[in-house]
Structure 1
Amino acid sequence: MKDEISGLGISQAALGAWLEDHVGGFADLRAVEKFGAGQSNPTYRLEAGSGTYVLRSKPPGKLLKSAHLVERDFRVMAALAGTDVPVPEVFALAADEASPTGRAFFVMEHLEGRIFWDPVLPELEVGGRRAYYDEMARVLAALHSVDVEAAGLGDYGKPGNYFARQTERWAGQYRASVEVPSAEFERIAAWLAERMPEDDGQVALVHGDYRLDNMMFAPHGARVIGLLDWELSTLGHPLADLAYQCFQWRLPHGGHMRGLAGKDRAALGLPTEEEYVAAYVAARGAEGVGDWTFYLVFSGFRLAAILQGVAARAKAGNASDPKGAMYGQLVPLLEGMIVGMLD
C-alpha cells in the first residue's frame, strides 16, 4: 500500500479518513509517529489540525490466545472516567472485525507529563522521591477500591480463585512460547499449586502490569495524571498488583533490569518494601498481606511467562520492539531467582 504507516498496514490518508468518521471533532491528520518504548502493543502519536492524539494497536502477526487485548484497555479506561483512578480520555475503538487495519486499535487523549523508567528516580532530588512512591501507593489503593458493579465492570473477570486461574493461564502462555519448558519453571508452577491459598473472597479491578513506567506524572509535582497499559487488567485479587510491583523492585538494578535489589533505599530517599506495603494497606483500609512469599513467587512466575512471550514474538518478527529478543535471555536468570525464594 502506498504511503503505508509502518506496523499498521494502512496509509495515512486512509487512517485520517477513518479518524474523521469515528473521533468527534477530529480533523486533518498531519503526522503519525511510533513511540519507541514498550513491548506489547505498538503505540503511535497522531498530530492533527484538531490536536494531538494517541493510537494503540494490536501487533501484526499470529498472537497468543487472550494476549494483546487492546479492547480491554479501551473498555476499562472508559469505565474509570470520573473515578479516583486517573486515566486518559478514550475516543474510539476499532474492533478486529471492523478495523481498517485488520486488527483492533483505539484512539485516546494525549497526555503531557513525565514517565519515569528507573525506580531510583535519579531525575529527582533525594528529598522529593518518597512523595512519588506515596502517590503510587495511593493510586493503587484507589484502583482496588473502585466499585466494579457501579463502573459497569461486574463481568470483567471470571469468578473463583484468581490465583489458581492465573497460574494455569500463565503456565499455558509460557508453554506455548517455548519448545520445551524449563525444569525451573515447572518446579515453580508445582510449588504454586501446592501453596495455593484458599479463595478469601476479595475481588477488585486489578491492573495486571502496575509499575512505575506505566503511569504518567504531572509535569511538576508528584501527581499521577494517567495510569496506562490496561490490556492485562481483569477482576482479581488486589494483592496480585501490589506483589507484582514489589517483585519488580527486587530485581537487579543494571543491565536490562530496573529493580532496587542491593540499593540503599534510605540513602536514596525511598521507602523500604515494608513501608510501601504499609502505605498501601493503610490507604486501602486493608488488614494485611497474608502469605507474602506466595504472592511474590506468583508475580515472578507470571513475569517470566510474560517475558518469554515477548521473546517469542520477537523471534517470530512481530514484537512491538525488536529488542524484545533480549528478554528471553533474562528468563533463566529470573527463574533461578524465584527458585531461590521457594521454601
Structure 2
Amino acid sequence: MSSAGIVAVDAEAVCRWFATLGVDFAEPLRFDRIGLGQSNLTYLVRDQDGRRWVLRRPPLGRLLASAHDVAREARILAALEGTAVPTPRVLGLTDDPAVTDVPLLLMEFVDGQVVDRMPVAQSLTPERRRAIGTSLPRTLAKIHAVDLDATGLTGLAGHKPYAQRQLKRWSGQWEKSRTRELPALEDLTRRLVAAVPEQREVALVHGDFHLRNVITSHDSGEVTAVLDWELSTLGDPLADMGSLLAYWPAKGENTSGDFGATALEGFPTREELVAAYLAASGRDLTALGFWHAMGLWKVAIIAEGVMRRAMDEPRNKAASGAPTAERIDALVAKAHEVADRAGI
C-alpha cells in the first residue's frame, strides 16, 4: 500500500470486503488520495494488474451532522443508474465494524479529464474549454429532468420550500463552523431571508455542481460523470445554476482562490452558461439573481467550514491547501454585488 499523504482506511480489511463484493482483483491494493475535495476523502484504488476503483469515506475529525453522508450519496448514485445523468456505478457500501469505523463507498473508476487544477485548464485548447463549459449547464438540465417517482427519489428530502430550508441549514452550519465574526455575511443572510422567491417546482438538486466535480471526455469535452453527490437533495433547480455561477469567476474576480480557470479564453461567460441552461431546460430564470447571490453565500460558508476543519485536523487538508479568510470575504462581497444587481 502506498499513498499521497495519510490513508485513513484499513487496506487489509478493504481487501476482505472486496472479496465479499465479487470484485475481481489481485492483491495488494494500493490507495492514493485523489482530487482536491475538502469534504469526503476520495481514494484511487489500484490492484496488482492495474485495475482501478474509487473509494470514498467521510473526513477525519469533528463532523457536522449529516454533512458527509456517503450512504446517502450511494443511494442517489444507485437511483440514477439508467437515467440520462452520467454517474459512476456503485459497487459497494459498508459500515461493517470489521472493515471500517465509518461508512465506505466503492464506485467504478470513470476515465476522463477532471479540470481541477490550473495547469490542466491551461493545457486545454480554447475550443476544448468551450466544449466542457457548455456541457455543464446541459448536464444540469438532465439532473433537473430526473423523474423522482421513477427513480424512487421522491422521499430523498422534504418538499417544503427549498430556499428557506437552505437558509436555515447553512446559517446553522455557519454558527457551528465559523472561525471569526463576519458582519458582512450576517447582513447578506438577512437580505436573502427577506427576498426568497416563490418556489414553482421540486426537482433533484445536485447541491455542489461545478467544474471540479465532473469528469469530461478526453475526446469531446462532454461531461461523462457527475461526482460528489453528498449535498444532493430535492429543491428548486435554479439553486444549482446559482451555485454554478458562484463557482464561475470572470477575469479579474478574486472569489476563486488559486483556481480561476473559468476566466481563461474559451470558457463560456456566465451569461452564456445561463443561455445554454435556458435552451436545454426552458425554465423561467427570473429568480436566478437571488440564487446566484445565495450560491456565493453558501460557497463562503462551505469554505469557512473547510478552513475550520483544516485548523482542527490538519490531515483533512487537501493538496491545494485550505481556503483563506480573504477569499471568503471576496465571496461575500461579490454576493452583495449580485444581490444589488438583482434588486434584493
Normalised by the size of structure 2, how large is the TM-score?
Answer: 0.88
Question: 2:100 maps to what in 1?
Answer: 101
Preserved CA contact (<8 Å) 1:175 1:181: no
Contact 1:38 1:320 in 2 (8 A): no
- Counterpart of 2:295, as a letter, is S
Q: What residue number does 1:273 align with?
A: 270
Q: Distance in 2 between matches of 1:135 and 1:99?
A: 42
Do 2:303 and 2:328's aligned partners in 1 also have CA atoms closer than 8 Å?
yes
| 1:213-260 superposed Cα distances (whole Å, 9 cap, x missing partner) | 111112222222111111011111110111111122136269724347
Distance 1:118 1:42, change over 3 A: closer
Q: CA deviation at 1:105?
A: 1.3
Amino acid at match of 1:163: A
Residue 155 in structure 1 maps to residue 161 in structure 2: no
Give the whole-Å Cα distance in 2 for the aligned partners of 1:230 and 1:36: 15
Which residue of structure 1 aligns with residue 282 of structure 2? 285
Matched, 1:258 2:255: no
Post-superposition offset of 1:58: 0.7
Query: What is the aligned counterpart of 2:311 among 298, 315, 319?
Result: 315
Native 8 Å contact 1:209 1:244 kept in 2: yes
* 3-state SS of paired residue (2:32): strand
Structure 1: 5+ residue stretches without partners: none
Match of 1:86 in 2: 86
Using a 3 Å threshold, how does the CA distance of structure 1 residues 257 and 237 change in structure 2: closer, same or farther?
Answer: farther
Q: Is residue 55–residue 105 contact of structure 1 (8 Å, CA) maintained in 2?
A: yes
Between 214-223 and 231-240, the greater mean CA deviation after superposition: 214-223
Shift of 1:98: 4.7
Shift of 1:48: 2.0
Matching residue of 1:41: 40
Q: Deviations over 1:39-82 (max 9, x none)?
A: 11111111125721111111122201121111122111111111
| Equivalent-residue separation in structure 2 for 1:77 and 1:29 (angstroms) | 28
What is the CA–CA distance in structure 1 between the aligned matches of 2:130 and 2:328, rounded to whole Å?
31
Q: State the SS of the aligned residue for 1:60.
A: coil
Q: Distance in 2 between matches of 1:282 and 1:255?
A: 27
CA contact (8 A) 2:87 2:227 kept: yes
Provide the rounded CA distance (Å) in 1 between the counterparts of 2:286 and 2:278: 12
Secondary structure class of the residue paired with 2:123: coil
Instruction: Give percent identity, aligned residues only.
Output: 34
- Report the aligned-residue RMSD: 2.6
- Partners of 2:31 and 2:267 in 1: how far apart? 38
Q: Where does residue 303 of structure 1 map in the other structure? A: 299
Name the counterpart of 1:190: 190
The answer for unaligned runs of 5 or more in structure 2 is none
Could you tell me which amino acid in structure 2 is paired with residue 301 of structure 1?
W
CA distance in 2, matches of 1:36, 1:141: 25
**CA deviations over 1:272-297 (Å, ceiling 9, x no partner):** 322221111111132x2112321111
What CA distance in whole angstroms lies between the structure 1 residues aligned with 2:311 and 2:109? 31
State yes or no: 1:213 paired with 2:202.
Answer: no
Cα distance in 2, alignment partners of residues 83 and 145 from structure 1 = 10
Relative to structure 1, the CA distance from residue 218 to residue 20 in structure 2 (aligned partners, 3 Å threshold; closer, same or farther) is same
Tell which deviates more after alignment, 299-308 or 241-250: 241-250
**Is the CA contact (8 Å cut-off) linking 2:129 and 2:266 kept in structure 1?**
yes
- Give the whole-Å Cα distance in 1 for the aligned partners of 2:273 and 2:121: 15
Give the counterpart letter for 2:236 in structure 1: H
Count of residue pairs brought into register by the alignment = 332
Paired with 2:222 and 2:43, the residues of 1 have a C-alpha distance of 24
- Residue 324 of structure 1: how far off its partner (Å): 4.5
**Greater Cα offset, 166-175 or 51-60:** 51-60
Partner SS state of residue 258, structure 1: coil
Secondary structure in 1 aligned to 2:151? coil
Q: How far did residue 191 of structure 1 move?
A: 0.4
User: What is the match of residue 335 of structure 2?
Assistant: 338
Contact 2:203 2:236 in 1 (8 A): yes
Q: Does 1:204 align with 2:203?
A: yes
Letter in 1 for 2:211: L
Q: Is the contact between residue 8 and residue 101 of structure 1 (CA under 8 Å) also seen in structure 2?
A: no
The answer on whether the counterparts of 1:34 and 1:43 sit within 8 Å (CA) in structure 2 is: yes
Deviates more, 1:16-25 or 1:64-73: 16-25
Q: Deviations over 1:101-129 (max 9, x none)?
A: 21111101112111113699432222343
Residue 27 and residue 152 in structure 1: after superposition, are their counterparts in 2 closer, same or farther (change >3 A)?
farther
- When structure 1 is superposed on structure 2, of 248-257 and 25-34 the one drifting more is 248-257
Match of 1:169 in 2: 169
Residue 150 of structure 1 aligns to a residue whose secondary structure is: helix
Distance 1:247 1:60 in 2: 27
Tell me if structure 2 keeps the 8 A contact 1:40–1:320: no
The whole-number CA distance in structure 2 between the counterparts of 1:21 and 1:147 is 33
Partner of 2:237: 238
Residue-by-residue CA offset, 1:290-315 (whole Å, 9 max, x unaligned): 12321111111111110011011001
Letter in 1 for 2:304: Q
For 1:256, give the aligned amino acid. G
User: Cα–Cα, structure 1 residues 334 and 99, in superposed 2: closer, same or farther, change >3 Å?
Assistant: farther
Shift in alpha-carbon separation, 1:255–1:107, aligned structure 2, 3 A = closer
